[in-house]
Amino acid sequence: MAEKRSTPTIEVRNATKHDVDAIIALSSKVFREEIGYTRGMILGQLSAFPEGQFVVVYEGDIVGYAATMILPEEKALAQHSWAEVTGGGYAAMHDRRGEWLYGTEVCVDPDRRRLRIGKRLYDARRRLCQDLDLKGIAFGGRIPGYRRNASRYPSADAYLDAIRAGEVKDPVASFHLAAGFEPVRVLENYYPRDEASRGFAALMVWRNPYYDPSRDDQPVNRGNPDVVRVVTVQMKARRIGQPQDFYDAVEYFVDVASEYGGDFVVFPELFTLMLLSCEAEELKPEAAIARLTEHTPDFVERLTAMAIRRNINIIGGSHATRTEAGAIQNLGYVFLRDGSVHVREKIHPTPNERQNWQIKGGDRVETIETDCGPIGVMICYDSEFPEVARRLTDQGARILFVPFNTDTRHGYLRVRYCCQARAIENQCYVVTSGMTGNLGNVDNLDIEYAQSAIFTPCDFPFARDGIAAEASENIEMVTVADLNLATLNWARYEGSVRNLRDRRLDLYRTRWSDGG
Question: Is 4 part of the annotated catalytic residue set?
Answer: no
Give the residues across from 266 on adjacent strands: 232, 315
Question: Is 129 part of the annotated catalytic residue set?
Answer: no
Rounded Cα distance between 228 and 222, Å, is 18
Nearest to 513 by CA among 379, 322, 362, 401: 362
Which residue in 105, 107, 129, 269 is the catalytic one?
A: 269
Amino acid of residue 220: V
Q: How far apart are the first and last CA of the chain?
A: 17
Q: What are phi and psi of 342, to 5 degrees?
A: -120, 145
Rounded Cα distance between 474 and 287, Å, is 29
| DSSP string for residues in 340-389 | -EEEEE-SS--HHHHHHH----------EEEBTEEEEE--GGGGG-HHHH
Rounded Cα distance between 378 and 312, Å, is 20
Q: What are phi and psi of 227, to 5 degrees?
A: -95, 125
Which residue in 105, 346, 419, 458 is the catalytic one?
A: 346
Rounded Cα distance between 319 and 285, Å, is 14
Which residue in 107, 380, 418, 428 is the catalytic one?
A: 380
Nearest to 402 by CA among 205, 234, 167, 515: 234
330, with CB counted inside 10 A (0-12, 13-18, 19+), is: buried
* 99, 138 Cβ separation under 8 angstroms: no
**Which residue numbers are catalytic?**
269, 346, 380
